[in-house]
């Protein structure tokens, strides 16, 4: 016969949105390739490079195209968030929240 505590342990875990570790304004650069020839030639985005204030000597950060809103051109400024793992990710990941104007010192 199950105990009262067994019912408490059997409750479903309530999912919550991933926690945001860091929020900043950063420049994203599209990295794309051309596929095909002639009229069937298409352009596909591989990923976005995340440029922050850490400079060129730092490790590069990448943003998956599915986590960036559509924008014109290859370079734009976004408010980005670094979130905890979860939602199909095994490690913390970056996502672009919204496009913003470049900072005055950019």
Question: Mind listing the pLDDT tens digit for each residue in 33-91?
Answer: 999 998 999 999 999 998 866 655 566 688 999 999 999 999 999 999 988 876 666 77
**Is the full-model pTM beyond 0.85?**
no
Count CB atoms within 10 A of the CB of residue 73: 7
Total domains in the fold of the chain: 1
Residue 66 lies in a domain: yes
Q: In b/e form, how buried is each residue of 20-37, taking b as 16+ CB within 10 angstroms?
A: eeeeeebbbebeeeeeee
72 three-class SS: coil
Residue 86 lies in a domain: yes
Of residues 41 and 105, more confidently modeled = 41
- Is pLDDT of 4 > 80? no
Residue 8 lies in a domain: no
Please name which of 22, 28, 20 lies closest in space to residue 46, comparing C-alpha atoms.
Answer: 28
Residue 90 lies in a domain: yes
Residue 6 lies in a domain: no
Which residues constitute the domain of residue 38? 16-99
Residue 34 lies in a domain: yes
Distance CA 68, CA 94 (A): 9
Residue 4 lies in a domain: no
| Average pLDDT rounded to a whole number, residues 9-34 | 81
């Amino acid at each position: 016969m199950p105990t009262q505590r067994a019912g408490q342990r059997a409750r479903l875990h309530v999912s919550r949105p991933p926690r945001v570790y860091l929020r900043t304004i950063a420049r994203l650069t599209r990295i794309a390739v051309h596929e095909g020839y002639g009229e069937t030639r298409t352009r596909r985005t591989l990923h976005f490079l995340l440029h922050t204030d850490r400079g060129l000597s730092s490790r590069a950060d990448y943003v998956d195209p599915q986590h960036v809103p559509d924008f014109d051109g290859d370079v734009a400024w976004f408010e980005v968030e670094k979130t905890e793992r979860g939602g199909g990710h095994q490690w913390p990941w970056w996502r672009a929240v919204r496009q913003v104007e470049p900072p005055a010192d950019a």
